[in-house]
Amino acid sequence: MHVLITGATGFVGTGVLAEALASPVVGRVTVLGRSSTGVRHAKLSELPVEDMGDLAPVADRLTDVDACFWCLGVSSAGMDEATYTRITHDYAMHAARTLAERNETLRFCFLSGSGADGSAMWARVKKRTEEDLRSVGLASLVVFRPAYIRDRHGARMRGTLYRTAYAIGVLLSPVIRHFGGGTSNAEIGRAMIVAVRDAMDGDILDSASINRVAERLE
């Protein structure tokens, strides 16, 4: 399969990219984004774009894509709703429509977050994006709502506060995982591959569900 990945330089995307490159299920990987991953691999090609809200300059190269692993995202901390909506909702919708118009059987895996049913600003935007993606005409849509995520592929956490919180989380991860709240960027990547391979559709996967689906990848 040919997979397109966004957010491949981010915390989750780093793991998703590594798993896609390692899996024999995936034959080609295209990374769409503003920054290079710095990764070199026979299966990998990178498609640089200046504005994720305007894919017209590269639209003719977004064909023969079987699946999109949407890992692009930002923290809502200190961000106004309009800006967060543009990055979280508008970019995803624009890409989904652009890809779906050129790939009739496109399967879409959307990285959301645990608590997306809540009333916080970020949750409302994430939930709206989940719902609006269902109207695009995708062959399938699977939503990923992980809680605590552990790194398994050398991803770098940006910001001192986040690095500190992550370090504490690592110490507590066995307990968090025991109660179903923990997963890893590697397992998210494997679960996305399985979701496409097995033609899953309409599923909303929490951390425990992500881990179970990931186990199905041999």
The domain locations on the chain are 2-214
Once rounded to an integer, what is the mean pLDDT over residues 46-60? 97
Once rounded to an integer, what is the mean pLDDT over residues 44-61? 97
State pLDDT tens for residues 6-26: 999 999 999 999 999 999 999
Inform me whether the pLDDT recorded for 156 exceeds 70.
no
Domain 2-214 matching CATH 3.40.50.720: the answer reads: yes
Inform me whether the pLDDT recorded for 162 exceeds 90.
no
Give the 3-state DSSP-derived string for the chain, with helices as H, strands as E and coil as C: CEEEEECCCCHHHHHHHHHHHHCCCCCEEEEEECCCCCCCCCCEEEEECCCCCCCHHHHHHCCCCCEEEECCCCCCCCCCHHHHHHHHHHHHHHHHHHHHHHCCCCEEEEECCCCCCCCCHHHHHHHHHHHHHCCCCCCEEEEEECCEEECCCCCCCCCHHHHHHHHHHHHHHHHHHHCCCEEEHHHHHHHHHHHHHCCCCCCEEEHHHHHHHHCCCC
Inform me whether the pLDDT recorded for 130 exceeds 90.
yes
Q: What does the pLDDT read at residue 182?
A: 87
Q: Which two tokens stand for residue 120?
A: 């916080």
Q: What does the pLDDT read at residue 166?
A: 47
Q: Which two tokens stand for residue 151?
A: 């790194």
- Rounded to whole angstroms, the Cα distance separating 51 from 186 reads 28
Q: What does the pLDDT read at residue 53?
A: 97
pLDDT band at 148 (very low <50, low <70, confident <90, very high): confident
Query: Do 138 and 107 touch, CB atoms closer than 8 A?
Result: yes
The lowest-confidence range among 36-45, 74-83, 132-141, 152-161 is 152-161
Query: Do 209 and 40 touch, CB atoms closer than 8 A?
Result: no
Inform me whether the pLDDT recorded for 87 exceeds 80.
yes
Nearest to 120 by CA among 76, 169, 161: 76
Which amino acid is it at 136?
A: V
Question: Residue written as tokens 């809540």?
Answer: 118
State pLDDT tens for residues 192-214: 999 999 999 999 999 999 999 99
Q: What does the pLDDT read at residue 161?
A: 47
